Amino acid sequence: MSKTGRKIVIIGNGISGITCARNIRKSDDQAEILVISGETEHFFSRTALMYIYMGHMKYEHTKPYEDWFWEKNRIGLLKAWIEVVDFDNKKILCHNGNSIAYDILVLATGSAPNKFGWEGQDLQGVQGLYSIQDLEEMEENTQNIHKAVIVGGGLIGVEMAEMLSSRKIPVTFLVREKNFWDNVLPLEEAELINRHIREHHIDLRLETELKVILGDKDKRVKGVMTSEGDVIDCQFVGLTVGVSPHITFVKDTKLATNRGILIDEYFRTNIPEVYAIGDCAEFKEVPSSDRKNIEQVWYTGRMHGETLAHNLTSGKPQPYKPGIWFNSAKFFDIEYQTYGWVPPVWDSKLGSFYWEDKGGKICLRFIYDNSNKKIMGVNAFGFRLRHDFFDKAISEGWLLDKVISNLDRANFNTEFYKPHHKAVLEQYNKEKGTKLQFTKVPFFKRLIGSRT
Amino acid sequence: MKKLQIIGLLVFVLGFLIFSYIPFLGTYQLEKEMVEQKVKPEHTDAMVRILKPMFGRQYGSNFEFITDFNELFKEYNYDLKVREEWDQVIWDDYAFMLTKSASQGDVRETPLLFLGGSILIAVIGAMIYILPLYKDEPEGIKNNGIYFSSMKSRGVLGIITGAYLILFYVILYWFPEYMTNLVLMLDPVSQAISGNEASQWFLYGFIYTLAILVMGIRMFRKYKGNAYQTLRTGSVMFFQLAFAFLLPEILVLLNMPWHDFKNIWPLDYSFFYEYRIDGMVSSGALGMFMLVWGIILIVLGVPVLTYFYGKRWYCSWVCGCGGLAETLGDPYRQLSDKSLKAWKIERYMIHGVLVFAVVMTLVTIVNYFMEFGLLGQATDQLHSIYGFAIGSAFAGVIGTGFYPFMGNRVWCRFGCPLAAYLGLVQRFKSRFRITTNGGQCISCGNCSTYCEMGIDVRWYAQRGQNIVRSSCVGCGICSAVCPRGVLKLENGEEEGRINEMPIIIGNKSVSVKP
């Protein structure tokens, strides 16, 4: 692959596109790199949007790199929306009429909030939350309002609830499922989060769906009607029922798409020299059995970018091979981390060990293979766990006994945090009839804070 | 905000305004006896002669009194300087103590009433505001609305607060004669502790300690549920109250030199000054202990403890400057500059001050052993430049006055020579680091935003690298505000402390083979 003079154009400056650009530059000094985004000029952390609304940070704080970084690393930035991609002539047409030629095109266009055709979904005051423009709109839409309704019990929904409650706006939260996010979380965890959401005075209504959004004569939202037939007066409706690949501008072109842009394990689309990564990409075949065709997570976007950059700059392209799954979130005050595979429900092939703190806000769940007692995955709420520990334990197939008796080393909680791992071990011994112990650490080693 | 808290705030502001008004009260009348009592014997005759026109005259305000005093005093010295009669010139500053003696009126009559009506009322108001904070809220991060707050994001209230603090420090350091009434009202307190009347430094120490205690309680509220923050705050409160405020005054009561056992050279830049050494050497066993302990801290305490725990053992658990920054300054921590440029400036400045302090001290010590020969003049010059520019202007006026503008650690970050020394150890030979938890960082920026030392924590965290920086004081807030459990302050093996992670954990597509 000739490295000189190539022009690599990346559409989308989110974590996928930017990671790709940075990693290309790390190993290719020659390529011309241009990142185009209509959303913002500079890369910012999408996950931090909520903190801008809550007054924890300003937009500038969400930029992971200072503005000089891009010029120094010769990564060109262009703020523009793309109208059309002319794949035959390798050209992009921007909304302002400019046309940009490319040798290699990387599509990293992210997602857009779902709307399921509800009556009233286009009223003023009804919106999703994904982009910085959405945030600006939300800022406007929530000025001087008395009540908000959020529809959809996922990660963005609970973030939005936290955002609104930080401004003391009462929130009713409609969740279709039996418990919050229970298509991902096992029952106990989902119930734990239910309780915590309610502790924050959110009116959480489970097994309740949105029926109609009601508007006034100025086409502003004035309320919603639920599947129960209840009418809730409100001046804002947050639609947080998931996101879909943002691919409108390449629909009906020769680029093969399904829900997202179809790619193989090398991120190649059906058109040579055109690649897709991140939220907008759809694997024709799942990367591994526990993964989905569309991966819409910060971490997977980063890995897509890393891997594609490697493939574009080295002579030896590698297929995308994600390792042990991991993810994290925060539900109001409760942090969530997960490693490996923890399904919401399981059959007798799998076993589970669950520990919950008396206060009902901290818990751990271990899922293991019943046939050989090897750990498969772990969920942690309000309990920080070491990533490298579980990456190792799960990929090496440690016995759950071994994991539990090393839990002190897996603990990533702040110093002086209550040593919950002791309670976990105690309960485990009681339930399983084992006599596991942590390795004794001599006093001096504890004094100087040694880990091993 | 609850009604009670609003009342608390109003009471606080009332106490604060009364405090600010007290210096303008009363009348001033100087008598010959006062001069004879306050002035050094060798200056008594001259001072009595100089100030004769003021005796028995009643001044309506301290401004008029001080103006007259300065005019007379300067005139006298000016004549001598013109005639180059240097040994006759009076270098001592008597303005403060004579103004204090001359102050008459209600503050002198009923000092405790004024103390209660100003500082005590402000403290009570502050407590009424602070105690119910976050009362009905679950434990968690309480940063809502910080960037909408005028006080905390360089708005009008922040600017007013900063300007007030700067003014306070300028008066305290260079024009204390204008705040004699404030000092006067603390006389009974000082008498009770040390048996001496209060100086402006007693007033300063008193307010400083109260600020740490009151705002420390605010920290308990704000970070409730975070054991690290609670213990750390308790520690700075204890060290300030016991070691910086009470113990030194008790030493004075016992006829010992005023000494803060937890202050370490070169932050305690006058430790090797002649008067300090002589004071310690001539104070028996305890005095010798002060000297030996001080030296042990410098040569053993700093390197050994910093090796095991990082500089946090001092900067955010023990130090008085750190104590104020971590309590009174906590609302402003997000205002520090995180740019690479600021980091570059920081390194020049803080190490520059360290070099300055070391050179000055070396000259002082050599001069001490040469019995004030050749270097006498140079030593005095260095001391006065350092004392003015670093000790007062930088550490005080800028260090605290700039809280609402540049964050709560301006001095610690750009100026403190002890922080520079601790930082060198922490950077190159220590077990302390902030561990990054694999690939869990989402680059949100909370850690960098709330780092008071202006470290761009996210820069490291998002690459999976541990944070090893000389300036980190280990306050632990980055770890607290991280929404994904990515950061942990740790002491551990030196091996792997500084790590590279070119491909972040979780991606097995690409590997980097060594």
Is a pLDDT exceeding 90 seen at residue A32?
yes
Nearest Cα residue to A171 out of A58, A332, A45: A332
Q: Which two tokens stand for residue B472?
A: 């980190």
Q: Which two tokens stand for residue A218?
A: 């100025």
List all residues of chain B from 205 to 244 with a beta carbon under 8 Å from chain A.
Answer: 226-228, 231
As a whole-number percent, the residues of chain B with pLDDT over 90 amount to 89
State the average pLDDT for chain B: 95
Nearest Cα residue to A129 out of A169, A157, A103, A165: A157
Q: CB contact, 8 Å: A164 with chain B?
A: no
pLDDT at residue B372, as a whole number: 65
Sign of the C-alpha dihedral computed for residues A437, A442, A443 and A449 taken in this order:
negative
Chains A, B: CB contacts within 8 A come to 178
List all residues of chain A from 237 to 256 with a beta carbon under 8 Å from chain B.
Answer: none
Distance CA A168, CA A170 (A): 6
pLDDT, mean of residues B75-104: 90
**Residue pLDDT, tens place only, B60-74:** 999 999 999 999 999
Diameter over CA atoms, chain B: 91
Q: CB contact, 8 Å: B373 with chain A?
A: no
Q: Hey, where are the domains in chain A?
A: 7-112+244-313, 126-241, 326-447
Q: CB contact, 8 Å: A449 with chain B?
A: yes
Of A171-180, A440-449, B44-53, B246-255, the range with the lowest mean pLDDT is A440-449
Cβ contact, residue pair B143, A54, below 8 Å: yes
Distance CA B358, CA A143 (A): 57
Distance CA A223, CA A181 (A): 24
Distance CA B201, CA B220 (A): 28
Distance CA B509, CA A304 (A): 9
Is a pLDDT exceeding 80 seen at residue A430?
yes
User: Which residues from A are below 8 Å from B442, CB to CB?
Assistant: 45, 47-48, 298, 328
Distance CA A347, CA B471 (A): 52
Is a pLDDT exceeding 50 seen at residue A1?
no
CA–CA distances in Å: residue A64 to residues A305, B39, B298: 16, 61, 39
Sign of the C-alpha dihedral computed for residues B364, B365, B368 and B374 taken in this order:
negative
* Option in B139, B149, B431 nearest A333 (CB): B139
Cβ contact, residue pair B485, A412, below 8 Å: yes
Residue with tokens 């040579």: A272
pLDDT at residue B510, as a whole number: 84
User: Which residues from B are below 8 Å from A64, CB to CB?
Assistant: 443, 445, 458-459, 462
pLDDT, mean of residues B16-27: 96
User: Which residues from B are below 8 Å from A196, CB to CB?
Assistant: 138
pLDDT at residue A282, as a whole number: 98
- The secondary element (H helix, E strand) that includes residue B353 is helix B340-369
Q: Which two tokens stand for residue B463?
A: 């690459």
Cβ contact, residue pair A55, B509, below 8 Å: no
Is a pLDDT exceeding 90 seen at residue B22?
yes
Q: Hey, where are the domains in chain B?
A: 27-104, 432-514
User: Which residues from A are below 8 Å from B490, CB to CB?
Assistant: 415, 449, 451
pLDDT, mean of residues A63-73: 98
Cβ contact, residue pair B507, A307, below 8 Å: yes
Q: Is A149:A211 a contact under the CB 8 Å cutoff? A: no
Top-confidence residue, B415 or A449? B415
Cβ contact, residue pair B438, A332, below 8 Å: no
Reported confidence tier of residue B98, pLDDT bands at 50, 70, 90: very high
For the whole prediction, is pTM greater than 0.90? yes
Do the domains spanning A7-112+244-313 and A126-241 agree at the CATH topology level?
yes
pLDDT, mean of residues A420-429: 97
Diameter over CA atoms, chain A: 74
Is a pLDDT exceeding 90 seen at residue A198?
yes
Q: CB contact, 8 Å: B306 with chain A?
A: no
Is a pLDDT exceeding 60 seen at residue B513?
no
Q: Is B465:B476 a contact under the CB 8 Å cutoff? A: no
CATH class of segment(s) A326-447: alpha beta
CATH of domain A126-241: 3.50.50.60
Shortest distance, CA A120 to any CA of chain B (angstroms): 32
Distance CA B286, CA B444 (A): 53
Torsion region of A125: left, alpha or beta (phi above 0 gives left; psi -120 to 50 gives alpha):
left
Question: What's the first-to-final CA gap in chain A, in angstroms?
Answer: 47
- The secondary element (H helix, E strand) that includes residue A353 is strand A350-356
Distance CA A28, CA B142 (A): 44
Reported confidence tier of residue B511, pLDDT bands at 50, 70, 90: confident
Task: Give every CB contact of residue B91 below 8 A, 6+ residues apart in sequence.
Answer: none
Cβ contact, residue pair A196, B149, below 8 Å: no
Q: Is B44:B38 a contact under the CB 8 Å cutoff? A: no
The number of beta carbons lying within 10 Å of the beta carbon of residue B343 is 17
The number of beta carbons lying within 10 Å of the beta carbon of residue A32 is 15
Tell me the sheet residues that pair with A276: A107
Is a pLDDT exceeding 80 seen at residue A121?
yes
CA–CA distances in Å: residue A32 to residues A152, A199, A307: 42, 52, 19
Nearest Cα residue to A104 out of A179, A1, A15: A1
Q: Is B424:B470 a contact under the CB 8 Å cutoff? A: yes
Single-letter amino acid code for the residue at B434? I
User: Which residues from A are below 8 Å from B449, CB to CB?
Assistant: 56-57, 61
User: Which residues from A are below 8 Å from B431, CB to CB?
Assistant: 448-449
Q: Is the bond preceding residue A343 a cis peptide, omega within 30 degrees? A: no
Is a pLDDT exceeding 90 seen at residue B505?
no
Nearest Cα residue to B421 out of B362, B379, B358, B483: B358
State the average pLDDT for chain A: 96
Sheet with A99-101: list strands edge to edge. Answer: A82-86, A91-94, A99-101
Single-letter amino acid code for the residue at A318? Q
Q: Which two tokens stand for residue A230?
A: 């209840």
pLDDT at residue A451, as a whole number: 61
List all residues of chain A from 65 to 94 with a beta carbon under 8 Å from chain B.
Answer: 66
Q: CB contact, 8 Å: A54 with chain B?
A: yes
**Angle between helical axes of B302-309 and B417-428 (0-180°, round to 10):** 50
The number of beta carbons lying within 10 Å of the beta carbon of residue A358 is 7
Shortest distance, CA A243 to any CA of chain B (angstroms): 19
Q: CB contact, 8 Å: A451 with chain B?
A: yes
**For strand B487-491 and strand B432-436, is the pairing parallel, antiparallel, or unpaired?**
antiparallel
Which residue of chain B comes nearest to A383, CA vs CA?
A: B485
Torsion region of A382: left, alpha or beta (phi above 0 gives left; psi -120 to 50 gives alpha):
left
Distance CA B329, CA B402 (A): 10
pLDDT, mean of residues B123-128: 98
Distance CA B113, CA B106 (A): 9
pLDDT at residue A54, as a whole number: 98
Is a pLDDT exceeding 70 seen at residue B175?
yes
Reported confidence tier of residue A452, pLDDT bands at 50, 70, 90: very low
Determine the topology of domain B432-514 in CATH. Alpha-Beta Plaits (3.30.70)
The number of beta carbons lying within 10 Å of the beta carbon of residue B350 is 23
CATH class of segment(s) A7-112+244-313: alpha beta
Distance CA A326, CA B434 (A): 21
User: Residue A128 carries which DSSP code?
Assistant: -
Residue B261 CB burial class (10 angstroms; 0-12, 13-18, ≥19): middle
Nearest Cα residue to A174 out of A206, A146, A142, A147: A206
Question: What's the first-to-final CA gap in chain B, in angstroms?
Answer: 58
User: Which candidate in A414, A418, A420, A450 is best for mutational testing of the B interface (most B CBs within 10 A)?
Assistant: A414
Three-state SS for A191-205 is HHHHHHHHHCCCEEE
Task: Give every CB contact of residue A392 below 8 A, 6+ residues apart in sequence.
Answer: A398
* Option in A56, A61, A415 nearest B489 (CB): A415
Residue with tokens 């239910």: A194
**For strand A221-226 and strand A231-233, is the pairing parallel, antiparallel, or unpaired?**
antiparallel
**Residue pLDDT, tens place only, B420-470:** 999 999 999 999 999 999 999 999 999 999 999 999 999 999 999 999 999
Task: Give every CB contact of residue A195 below 8 A, 6+ residues apart in sequence.
Answer: A360, A361
Shortest distance, CA A86 to any CA of chain B (angstroms): 31
Report the SS3 class of residue A211: strand
Distance CA A284, CA B483 (A): 33
Is a pLDDT exceeding 60 seen at residue B392?
yes
Distance CA B261, CA B239 (A): 10
Is a pLDDT exceeding 50 seen at residue A2?
no
